Structure 1
């Protein structure tokens, strides 16, 4: 991984430059202050197939037998010291753009895996139009269980509610933007 630490941000919003990405940019700014190299991986527009549960992981010399954009995502996750999972809240959970990532990490937990992705830090950033913080309960539970399963250290969570239309994060999300920036500074 070299001397410079890497923060890989998996952007799970279909909106480029939307509220979720604005929140991620605040995290990136804080991490950059600490000397991190920040990599944005915009998942919208990528071809990310679902896991086939074929149990042929590594049989072709690569993590998965499927050939799609997950190969790039694998490389970015492997290179990262910290992985930020950034997703708008859709029906109380992950967006469809980010969900395949979790399912396709199975190769790294197969017995025959020549590589591991444990011992990373992870962060959750999420934004919802709903006004109640409780709408994130399901997402938070899934995130925490997933981080634990992956062997990743939960380095923090920022779940911004009451932010929906484009630009609202800048207009009324100052506290969440500062919280995300502080998480970056704390890496």
Structure 2
């Protein structure tokens, strides 16, 4: 996956420039190393490729450069993915990535794995931004750096509820692993 990431880091330098809130379309092909024992793309590979799609989005919309200047970096807080059709060996596909909006703590991104415009897989990512110097980038700091969000942003209510329900305790709170009998 590191070679694919490096390739797309290089390619994103030449891709079409995007507005911060545009949809990025990143092209891929299913490789032999992406397959599971059933000979279709492994479910874990989708999440790794989604990472590359988000990286491409942030590079081409200029946000990555802003983050580098400020010493910020993105992390995934939670993600959910639904599968509709399998991707097969050598099949080409496009990952469409867009920022949906944010709540008081995180940014929500939708990503679609498409073939000829048809959705095969859909993922939603709830991400945070951290400071290399320590601490979390607030949504206010983020918007100050990248500019205001469009007023027509709408995050589905179910996604906001999922974000809250799926969240683990903060890193400063206890989180013991206790299984119910």
Greater per-residue helix proportion: 1
Greater Rg by CA: 2
Q: Aligning the two structures, in what range does the TM-score lie when normalised by the shorter sequence?
A: under 0.3
Higher relative CO (Cα under 8 Å, sequence separation at least 6) belongs to: 1
Q: Which has the higher strand share?
A: 2
